[in-house]
Structure 1
């Protein structure tokens, strides 16, 4: 076993909630921290949904779920959240200033042995190593969404990361059932998001610019990639509108990409301003728990009664 038993997850959003629940399910003692009560409440609700998923899809027993709940604590007290942690997983919004602020606040609150990792999806560990106050005990550990089925985790060091830190973090990942993917040099986007962000941005561009509707974007993807369970617009829902907005807005600004900024503005107006956060809230491009893309007829050839609607959309205005 690794030396990691007590895990603190900073950030009760979509992926933070998943990491916390799954780690507890795999036997770790977990504290979930968030600044406000509202996201902690959503996290608790999400954990009840995960309980049903683990019972129905992973073969968990009721006693396993009860034990998982018993290993979880929720708090908005940062000091108590991190005081006993062997590993702190930062999963706060994908905004550099927010992450830096969190690292600076916890730097004097941690036990000497505690390791810190970032679950950032596009930012580099070297961006934050100094702010942690323990750069040798810091690296990136990036999880994929739907952690119970998409069980990949990316391990990325910065130049000052100690080998022992990488060893312990990788052992922890394996203990909770992940497939560790080593990233051999610092890379914005790691492996997963280096290809995923361009895919999602291209798909969102089709919707933002009125070229296609979300369902047809996903149909083309799923037919071209038979066997995949979810298309890019469904992926946006799974990742969560706030995270997708943060990534597009940050990188659109940094690269001067107006289309990416337009895509971010679309997501803000259509979803975030309306309180639609994606799968986590029950509504994004699709309605959950029964999204259209999961229905058996989603990729079926349509009946001829669909012709007028198809022709209407294909007629240039």
Structure 2
């Protein structure tokens, strides 16, 4: 008998976690969102309501999007959130020690059958697997921001991942409307971020170094390549917190760029589209 995935818990209800939860529920799965406290869950409910409006406007057949939003269960009790989960998708901040800590707890609380998938953007699953208590049922499942539009799901296991588990997650990705991108071995950044991160870092280096303004960098990229968006527009979509965390784990040059990002944008509440302003201003 094959592995069945029907009940899904998403750990972390931030920008991307809330999208993953909503898309999964929209495709008919039983979804629970977990976050650390009631304030975070209240914010999550607001994100779901906004996603319902977005889906109605942008996704064919999304007339019942409000029902999708209302149907997502929310919990700040980790044990209760995962007690019946077939699959747990972890989307907590991109900090290795934080991910390791939550998997140590998760491994003791979730049923033995539960598959764990990290949405980590840059960290290798092999850096986390020993903390899960079930390395054969653990892998990476990486989504791009605006999952209803940029619908890739990159799937990357470790040497310990059970091939049947891997294929079950490939099938799940298809079932929720994603295009599965299968990686044959571990690669930091998967396919998408192996291409995207160097572009974003080069753009920030140009602006932080005083070579060109973000608008000029974006204009150059759009005109020169025909791309619909420049790197700073992409950063605003991603949200500036994740790039900041990634840069802070890098060398001295990357940490200097992270400090520039913090001083000029993050500390001023300019986190990207989600807050109405990042490198650009956005109307509601």
CA shift, 1:289, in A, is 4.0
Q: Does 1:231 align with 2:225?
A: no
TM-score of the superposed pair, with normalisation by structure 1: 0.86
Moved over 4 A (4+): none
CA shift, 1:37, in A, is 3.1
CA shift, 1:39, in A, is 3.0
Q: Tell me the number of residue pairs that the alignment of Structure 1 and Structure 2 aligns.
A: 283
Partner of 1:304 in structure 2? none
Partner of 1:276 in structure 2? 270
Contact 1:2 1:172 in 2 (8 A): no
Q: Does 1:145 align with 2:145?
A: yes
Alignment of 1:158-197 (within 5 A): 158-197=158-197
Q: Deviations over 1:241-298 (max 9, x none)?
A: 1111011111x1xxx3x221111111111222222221222221122247xxxxxxxx
Contact 1:7 1:29 in 2 (8 A): yes
SS at match of 2:136: helix
Q: Where in structure 1 are there 5+ consecutive unaligned residues?
A: 291-317
SS at match of 1:164: helix
CA RMSD of aligned residues (A): 1.5
Contact 1:46 1:280 in 2 (8 A): no
Contact 2:137 2:162 in 1 (8 A): yes
Task: Find the aligned partners of 1:46 and 1:262 in 2 and give their Cα distance.
Answer: 32
Alignment of 1:212-291 (within 5 A): 212-226=212-226, 228-250=227-249, 252=250, 256=251, 258-289=252-283
TM-score of the superposed pair, with normalisation by structure 2: 0.95
Residues 61 and 186 of structure 1: CA distance in aligned 2, closer, same or farther (over 3 Å) = closer
Q: Deviations over 1:106-160 (max 9, x none)?
A: 1111112110000000111111111010110000001111101100111101000
Task: Find the aligned partners of 2:66 and 2:39 in 1 and give their Cα distance.
Answer: 24
Task: Find the aligned partners of 1:191 and 1:161 in 2 and give their Cα distance.
Answer: 19
Partner of 2:157 in structure 1? 157
Contact 1:8 1:81 in 2 (8 A): yes
SS at match of 1:66: helix
Partner of 1:315 in structure 2? none
CA shift, 1:225, in A, is 2.3
Task: Find the aligned partners of 1:61 and 1:15 in 2 and give their Cα distance.
Answer: 19
